[in-house]
Structure 1
């Protein structure tokens, strides 16, 4: 599973929501409070958890979103931003009487509230991995607010406050390229200037120079350790979009030219140092800018109909998602749009969600998992594109007569994103379980194992070579030291591992007529089969004994293990083989 790199965004904070015009920065802060109150009125209650799967083409109804309540939403608080590192593990920050940070480890089904050293209005969150994360915002009332920077090194079990070089004001977004190297944007209320903060050790923050102090900086994103962008707008009405860029890791920021004379940019995303998008709003409509050369040239793209494009996220330079909010009569509605041509055109993915305002959309690989933050409720959707290919593992294998091999199949769409498949297995020789993919070599020859999916013309295949042995009853004896990929994989909670132990001291002779025989000695072997976590710590011993040559299988029950990647190692004397497996709970 891969989280999309190069993206973290700030919400539409300080931007008028119930009206399309801002008069000045103070009025923007007034509307922030109205915005919060409006969003806390969302009441998607009592919906069962069922995540649908569907294809790229066509629209489905908004009821195909699954809405999940959270501790912040239930307490009538407001959720401002989120960050998922995979489809299971994520954090949401905001403000509520029950707490300002919540955490899930099962894709949003269940949430726990995490304690923070200060009760704050948090608007930005970023996690480098499952342990190290940062959250930013402010505490106190308007005019007397102070910036808040929080850090955790244990997944949020404990949050510690860090010192900000800005004494008064607030922070709007945070982004980290490593556990130590990160940036944050915000406002210094003493000077009424926008600030960019930087840390190189994950602890000490300093201000970075930038060319547009009179600005409202909304979001920051980096494509890699060198190239980053910040978007926002000027402070006075009519607002003008601002895009800042760096090519040296934030040491210097320059303003990039963009084609708009009016508007406010709310979010930015870069799939790589060249391909990027900036989205936002003007007085009447949503706006989308795109670049294919790192921002040297920004072009206006045709934006979907609506008043505000609040969030954007891309899987590849071609495939992306956009959240658009529309004001109709007396309430907001949300629509998610997708593109397959880099943002030149957008198609609505679902019908609009009424009485809602989207702060953020985030997409996580591994069957495309879409998370849509609606301030006091979370929308979940699992989507994948049309099946484009099936990979079979192993792709080529040599098996002796009587040997067994577990085959697995993985599907992918045109973006390279995994697509869930339920393969049907066939073979041109030998036998294979059509549901599980467990192959048994019954005769010598070269054969093909094929995985297919009902209703799809796409197939995947593997080649099986079964050499001629000329040995009777050889089905119980192995001549190679082997360890098969576990099946199923990923799994929860049990999986099966097959392995083979070779015949020792083999002697061969050829008789007349071309018939061959093998004389062998069945030397016993002392073997171990152990499981390790990603830290190299042994977590299970599956086999630890002397065995005769042959083919074996063992089942591991990982009920007590946490989700994650594990390694299993077969060792016999000086020989060893290691493979990986994945537990998903």
Structure 2
């Protein structure tokens, strides 16, 4: 566990009890109490503040990592709308933690598609844009900062609906934003930008051409111009994600397949399997050099795929899942949402990387973290000579455990693992001296590191 568990028992009037760890980073899925039975389509996870949207104008918000979900339905959004995508600013993208009060949601009915925004944590929602016409439907929204945002909608009259705002979503304009959409279809949450770089103008979105071929569009100027990437995959796309840890990595999923490109779309590795669901949702964490990829299949579980890769890719699986997202873009906590108001939460240990070496260590060793001092993140390396259960923990100057970086059985080898203050709510980890301790059987070693903000 990354933190000591603090069990909180929440009793509801319907006598339904859920035991949820407030800061639990377990390796199991926790089914959280959402307070609704509506279908949930999208989640935007950001720090401990996260948002969910779904059928019948449903909007949920949590400020404590999902321990309690607050139902904000009916606060200005018509209850006849199907809300398919919600966006909120992740902390790393926002100049101020107060931008948590902002959120944006897209919804549709038989008359058109709409964008609503809130500037007060969902207490009130205002209609800021309406799209009409046959097939009008916004698929996704993205903001590169608190002022500049973009929305992608299904093609109308052979033209993708691309709208931008420069004033926090108050006004939207599509002038000069033409992109051919003849014979293309999109899907919910098909648009993504770079989560770890404030004001980055690179965008990708996924689509299907002629009902059978997966395509990816790329823009480097926030939607003004687009290039097309042709993966050569003859399957309709239903899931898309993008991560940039130096080189853009693209992830797409669809009808019992998924594909990954590690070089921005030039080359693709594709896996077809009947074990994968016909409808995929996928997400990628933006964590250091070891991103994680998740998507859904047919029964709840947690599996590793592409084990020959240096990086860790997973698929999260449960029937009726429709949305997935990470807190902070890193893979410490992940949420899944789906049918009947289901919300799953899972904590994941830090992305442990085993370094490829030609030799086996002759002894145990814990290296000095680098960089040191650090802010906001650092890398800790260690080596183990025998197979066994290993723990690597971080303590404050008073000896209180604040994080567990490793807690599992490992094979002999050389390893590295990151530690970052971004996992703590609002980066609330003070400057000062911290200690990290490696334990393996009778062996243990402790070193000191310094955080300077």
Q: TM-score range by the shorter chain?
A: 0.5 to 0.7
Q: What does residue 122 of structure 1 align with? A: 83
Among 234, 241, 249, the residue aligned to 1:276: 249
Using the TM superposition, give the Cα deviation of residue 392 of structure 1 relative to its aligned residue in structure 2, in angstroms.
12
Using the TM superposition, give the Cα deviation of residue 339 of structure 1 relative to its aligned residue in structure 2, in angstroms.
6.0
Among 370, 373, 386, the residue aligned to 2:334: 370
Q: Given the superposition, is the C-alpha separation of residues 230 and 154 from structure 1 closer, same or farther in structure 2, using an over 3 Å criterion?
A: same
Q: Given the superposition, is the C-alpha separation of residues 339 and 462 from structure 1 closer, same or farther in structure 2, using an over 3 Å criterion?
A: same
Among 152, 165, 173, the residue aligned to 1:206: 173
Among 36, 45, 67, the residue aligned to 1:109: 67
Between the two structures, name the one with larger relative contact order (CA 8 Å, sep ≥ 6): 2
1:152 equivalenced with 2:118 (yes/no): yes
* Superposed counterparts of 1:500-579, under 5 Å: none
| Contact preservation (8 Å) 1:137, 1:149 | yes
Cα distance in 1 for residues equivalent to 2:417 and 2:121: 31
Q: Given the superposition, is the C-alpha separation of residues 340 and 415 from structure 1 closer, same or farther in structure 2, using an over 3 Å criterion?
A: farther
Cα distance in 1 for residues equivalent to 2:152 and 2:308: 27
Q: What does residue 384 of structure 1 align with? A: 349
Q: What does residue 26 of structure 1 align with? A: none
Using the TM superposition, give the Cα deviation of residue 126 of structure 1 relative to its aligned residue in structure 2, in angstroms.
0.8
Cα distance in 2 for residues equivalent to 1:451 and 1:197: 48
Cα distance in 2 for residues equivalent to 1:277 and 1:373: 22
Q: What does residue 296 of structure 2 align with? A: 324
| Contact preservation (8 Å) 2:285, 2:292 | yes
CA RMSD in angstroms comes to: 3.9
SS of the residue corresponding to residue 297 of structure 2 reads strand
Cα distance in 2 for residues equivalent to 1:342 and 1:93: 37
Using the TM superposition, give the Cα deviation of residue 290 of structure 1 relative to its aligned residue in structure 2, in angstroms.
1.5
| Contact preservation (8 Å) 1:390, 1:451 | no
1:254 equivalenced with 2:227 (yes/no): yes
Structure 2 gaps, min length 5: 1-15, 90-98, 353-365, 375-396, 407-415, 422-431
| Contact preservation (8 Å) 2:437, 2:444 | yes
Cα distance in 1 for residues equivalent to 2:85 and 2:261: 24
Using the TM superposition, give the Cα deviation of residue 462 of structure 1 relative to its aligned residue in structure 2, in angstroms.
3.7
1:95 equivalenced with 2:55 (yes/no): yes
Q: Given the superposition, is the C-alpha separation of residues 67 and 197 from structure 1 closer, same or farther in structure 2, using an over 3 Å criterion?
A: same
Using the TM superposition, give the Cα deviation of residue 320 of structure 1 relative to its aligned residue in structure 2, in angstroms.
0.5
Cα distance in 2 for residues equivalent to 1:334 and 1:247: 37
Query: Which structure would you say has the larger Rg?
Result: 1
Cα distance in 1 for residues equivalent to 2:306 and 2:237: 25
Structure 1 gaps, min length 5: 1-44, 56-63, 327-332, 397-404, 420-437, 440-448, 464-483, 486-578, 581-585
Using the TM superposition, give the Cα deviation of residue 411 of structure 1 relative to its aligned residue in structure 2, in angstroms.
5.7
Cα distance in 2 for residues equivalent to 1:342 and 1:182: 38
Deviation by residue 1:163-199 (Cα, 9 ceiling, x = unmatched): 235455121111111112111122256x365422222
Using the TM superposition, give the Cα deviation of residue 125 of structure 1 relative to its aligned residue in structure 2, in angstroms.
0.8
Q: What does residue 5 of structure 2 align with? A: none
Q: What does residue 132 of structure 1 align with? A: 102
Among 197, 208, 222, the residue aligned to 1:233: 208
| Equivalent residue pairs, number | 355
Q: Given the superposition, is the C-alpha separation of residues 193 and 462 from structure 1 closer, same or farther in structure 2, using an over 3 Å criterion?
A: closer
Using the TM superposition, give the Cα deviation of residue 150 of structure 1 relative to its aligned residue in structure 2, in angstroms.
0.6
Q: What does residue 357 of structure 2 align with? A: none
Q: Given the superposition, is the C-alpha separation of residues 182 and 336 from structure 1 closer, same or farther in structure 2, using an over 3 Å criterion?
A: farther
1:287 equivalenced with 2:293 (yes/no): no
Cα distance in 2 for residues equivalent to 1:335 and 1:450: 34
Q: What does residue 549 of structure 1 align with? A: none
Cα distance in 2 for residues equivalent to 1:251 and 1:342: 38
Q: What does residue 39 of structure 2 align with? A: 78
| Contact preservation (8 Å) 1:81, 1:93 | yes
SS of the residue corresponding to residue 249 of structure 1 reads coil
Q: Given the superposition, is the C-alpha separation of residues 360 and 165 from structure 1 closer, same or farther in structure 2, using an over 3 Å criterion?
A: closer
Using the TM superposition, give the Cα deviation of residue 147 of structure 1 relative to its aligned residue in structure 2, in angstroms.
1.0
SS of the residue corresponding to residue 164 of structure 1 reads strand
Cα distance in 2 for residues equivalent to 1:459 and 1:303: 45
1:452 equivalenced with 2:431 (yes/no): no
Q: Give the TM-score, by structure 2 length.
A: 0.67
Q: What does residue 175 of structure 1 align with? A: 142
| Contact preservation (8 Å) 2:26, 2:346 | no
| Contact preservation (8 Å) 2:305, 2:315 | no
Cα distance in 2 for residues equivalent to 1:187 and 1:345: 34
Cα distance in 1 for residues equivalent to 2:71 and 2:118: 14
Q: What does residue 68 of structure 1 align with? A: 32
